[in-house]
């Protein structure tokens, strides 16, 4: 268990001793991930096949239908 | 497909191009800078010279900025797969699953572990352990690119799989065929080495600015020597991998090669166009000249494509209209076979549903016979197989021209560095400074050659782009296109602002990451 404690301290000390630039970058990463996952992914990028069909059989049938209907 | 909004194809395509091109602004610098930083740190560990530690930390700081801003810009493409490209995602699912899962796991573990040691561990772990972490970050981030390019290489030359007509999925039959797909590894080596070239240009460009400003001279000179030496070696390697990539195109994507070279009429002693201006009036099959002006290297295209001076290289006309003598099937014939494959698949599906096993087996046999042409069954016009020739041609020649310039630049810079006259050559320093944008243009041009040149295919010969698109409305795709355009532009401005601020502080500044 000592190694978990050491790893924890390694990261904690790393973050605490971080310069202004590092902190700005982490803030930027956090904001970006928030926008990407909580806004863009959630509101604009539904997984079409997951949302419209409840199982793989239905998904296969739908894609086969798309492939066999032609243009 | 029925009721497909045609603009969805264009908007999905535009959105993917936008996100991929923006993503590709950040990635190559990370791929290359990790190695340059690792080389610098190796010199520090070998010599014990604290100057090299300072130099390493400075470039590591710029690497961190680029990494942090570029981080997760690629994940957007995965969002797009599920929404805009759901047909494609389903059809390739089994093939892409393994490489992308390996990439995700590898990126997570490498980045969370060794990146942390690289930035937090300077005084916490031994010099050698720190150096090892830096090298592992370099190797890990490059291996991460390997899996993405294995997936991309498969799309350009699908191997090691079988299409299952019951599930409508391509199922992996040979993982190693996928990994050792010649298209994938030539693409991987060319892509990563182009990233190393860009990173070398970046270090030289920033260091040139210091020399022009007459500040941090020792630091800049040392950085330039490392970057120019590394740059020269990797740019020569990049030349050979580029040659191999073009050869792969000759073997597996001849239409792409013909578009790259503006070659309409195939011939047995094909010349390579060094410089050329395409005739905008030229169309496949007509008798107009393909070029308004050109400078050629005789026999070079035959030699580079097939390693023979008299090798026949098919042109766009042969690939569209066929050439019986040369054994080249016309696009019209392929379309007919593709339509037969679609019809057989339809019959198979109906027979399975009706429980007619004999008819299903017969239809399946008919499908397997023409399944290699399946994608052509969704095309209506033989000219659909021709990509955008001017865009592919000019992107390719821009990339090659700049690639050649970078080799020359590295040689000149290295020469003047070795004789210790670099800081007196101010014009050369200005040229070096402004060569950095050319590196980025070459990177983006490379992506255009690879992806525009393979149109109309999402998966070569098996799935055209319009069939890969979701049957969805274009409004949300348009909205998110502009949203991404704004978001990425903001990120790019942030990158440039933070980066330039850090460069102005310079290596003596204490505000490292």
Query: How many angstroms away from the CA of B138 is the closest CA of chain A?
Result: 20
Q: Write out pLDDT tens, residues A21-57.
A: 888 898 988 998 999 889 888 888 988 898 899 999 9
Chain B residues closer than 8 Å to A69 by CB: 1-2
**Rounded distance between C-alpha atoms, residue B235 and residue B241, angstroms:** 10
User: Whats the size of chain B, residue-wise?
Assistant: 513
Which residue stretches of B253-330 are H helix? 254-261, 300-306, 316-321
B161: helix, strand or coil:
strand
Tell me, what DSSP letter sits at residue B324? T
Query: How many angstroms away from the CA of A49 is the closest CA of chain B?
Result: 7
A35 to B380: CB separation less than 8 angstroms, yes or no? no
pLDDT in tens, chain B (513 residues): 555 666 889 999 999 999 999 999 999 999 999 999 999 999 999 999 999 999 999 999 999 999 988 888 888 888 898 899 999 999 987 787 777 777 777 776 777 788 888 888 888 889 999 999 999 999 988 888 888 899 899 999 999 999 999 999 999 999 899 889 999 989 999 999 999 999 999 999 999 999 999 999 999 999 999 999 999 999 999 999 999 999 999 999 999 999 999 999 999 999 999 999 999 999 999 999 999 999 999 999 999 999 999 999 999 999 999 999 999 999 999 999 999 999 999 999 999 989 999 999 999 999 999 999 999 999 999 999 999 999 999 999 999 999 999 999 999 999 999 999 998 999 999 999 999 999 999 999 999 999 999 999 999 999 999 999 988 788 888 998 999 999 999 989 998 999 999 999 998 875 555
pLDDT of A19 above 90: no
Query: Two tokens at B484?
Result: 């991404």
Continuous segment of H or E residues that includes residue B278 = strand B272-278
B168 to A50: CB separation less than 8 angstroms, yes or no? no
Query: How many angstroms away from the CA of B168 is the closest CA of chain A?
Result: 6
Q: Are A45 and B481 in contact (CB under 8 A)?
A: no
What residue spans define the domains of chain B? 6-253+387-505, 264-386
Sign of the dihedral through C-alpha B379, B383, B388, B389: positive
Which residue stretches of B277-323 are H helix? 300-306, 316-321
pLDDT of A71 above 50: no
**Rounded distance between C-alpha atoms, residue A64 and residue B87, angstroms:** 10
Query: How many angstroms away from the CA of A16 is the closest CA of chain B?
Result: 10
pTM, to two decimals: 0.92
Continuous segment of H or E residues that includes residue B246 = helix B217-252
A13 to B476: CB separation less than 8 angstroms, yes or no? no
Nearest residue on chain A to B122, alpha-carbon basis: A14
**Rounded distance between C-alpha atoms, residue B194 and residue B199, angstroms:** 9
Chain B residues closer than 8 Å to A16 by CB: none
Nearest residue on chain B to A23, alpha-carbon basis: B513
- For A47, counting Cβ atoms within 10 Å of its Cβ (0-12 exposed, 13-18 middle, 19+ buried), the class is middle
B491 to A48: CB separation less than 8 angstroms, yes or no? no
Chain A residues closer than 8 Å to B467 by CB: 66-67
Q: Please tell me the total count of domains within chain A.
A: 1
Residue B513 has a pLDDT of 59
From the list B83, B124, B346, which residue is nearest A46 (CB)? B83
Full domain range(s) for residue A26: 2-69
């Amino acid at each position: 268990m000592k190694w978990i404690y050491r790893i924890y301290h390694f990261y904690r000390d790393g973050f605490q001793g971080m310069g202004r630039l590092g902190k700005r970058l982490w803030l930027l990463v956090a904001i970006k991930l928030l926008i990407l996952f909580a806004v863009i992914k959630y509101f604009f990028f539904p997984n079409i096949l997951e949302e419209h069909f409840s199982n793989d059989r239905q998904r296969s049938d739908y894609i086969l239908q798309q492939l066999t209907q032609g243009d | 497909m029925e009721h497909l909004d045609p603009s969805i194809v264009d908007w999905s395509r535009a959105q993917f191009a936008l996100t991929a091109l923006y993503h590709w602004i950040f990635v190559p610098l990370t791929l290359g800078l990790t190695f340059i930083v690792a080389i610098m740190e190796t010199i520090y560990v070998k010599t014990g010279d604290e100057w090299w530690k300072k130099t390493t930390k400075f470039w590591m700081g710029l690497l961190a900025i680029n990494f942090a801003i570029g981080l997760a810009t690629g994940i957007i493409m995965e969002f797009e797969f599920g929404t805009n490209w759901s047909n494609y995602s389903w059809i390739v699912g089994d093939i892409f699953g393994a490489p992308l899962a390996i990439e995700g796991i590898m990126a997570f573990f490498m980045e969370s572990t060794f990146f942390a040691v690289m930035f937090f561990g300077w005084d916490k772990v031994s010099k050698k352990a720190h150096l090892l972490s830096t090298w592992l970050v370099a190797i890990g981030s490059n291996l991460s690119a390997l899996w993405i390019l294995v997936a991309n290489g498969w799309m350009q030359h699908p191997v090691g799989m079988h299409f299952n007509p019951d599930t409508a999925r391509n199922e992996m039959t040979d993982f190693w065929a996928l990994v050792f797909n010649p298209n994938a590894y030539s693409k991987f080596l060319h892509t990563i080495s182009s990233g190393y070239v860009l990173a070398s240009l970046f270090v030289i460009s920033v260091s040139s600015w210091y020399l022009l400003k007459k500040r941090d001279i020792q630091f800049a000179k040392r950085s330039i020597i490392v970057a120019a030496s590394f740059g020269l070696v990797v740019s020569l390697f990049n030349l050979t991998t580029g040659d191999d990539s073009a050869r792969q195109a000759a073997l597996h994507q001849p239409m792409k090669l013909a578009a790259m070279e503006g070659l309409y009429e195939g011939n047995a002693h094909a010349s390579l166009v060094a410089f050329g201006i395409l005739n905008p009036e030229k169309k496949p099959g007509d008798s107009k000249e393909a070029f308004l002006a050109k400078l050629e290297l005789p026999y070079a295209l035959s030699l580079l494509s097939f390693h023979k001076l008299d090798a026949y290289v098919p042109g766009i006309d042969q690939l569209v209209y066929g050439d019986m003598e040369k054994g080249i099937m016309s696009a019209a014939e392929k379309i007919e076979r593709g339509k037969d494959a679609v019809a057989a698949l339809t019959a198979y599906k109906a027979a399975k549903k009706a429980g007619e096993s004999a008819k299903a087996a017969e239809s399946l046999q008919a499908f397997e016979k023409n399944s290699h042409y399946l994608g052509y069954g969704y095309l209506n016009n033989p000219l659909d197989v021709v990509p955008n020739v001017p865009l592919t041609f000019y992107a390719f020649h821009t990339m090659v021209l700049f690639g050649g310039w970078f080799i020359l630049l590295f040689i000149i810079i290295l020469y003047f560095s070795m004789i210790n006259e670099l800081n007196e050559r101010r014009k050369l320093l200005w040229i070096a400074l402004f060569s950095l944008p050319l590196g980025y243009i070459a990177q983006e041009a490379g992506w255009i050659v690879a992806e525009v040149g393979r149109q109309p295919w999402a998966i070569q010969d098996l799935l055209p782009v319009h069939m890969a698109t979701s049957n969805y409305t274009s409004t949300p795709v348009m909205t998110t296109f502009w949203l991404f355009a704004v978001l990425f532009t903001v990120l790019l401005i942030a990158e440039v602002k933070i980066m330039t601020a850090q460069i102005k502080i310079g290596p003596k500044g204490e505000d490292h990451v």
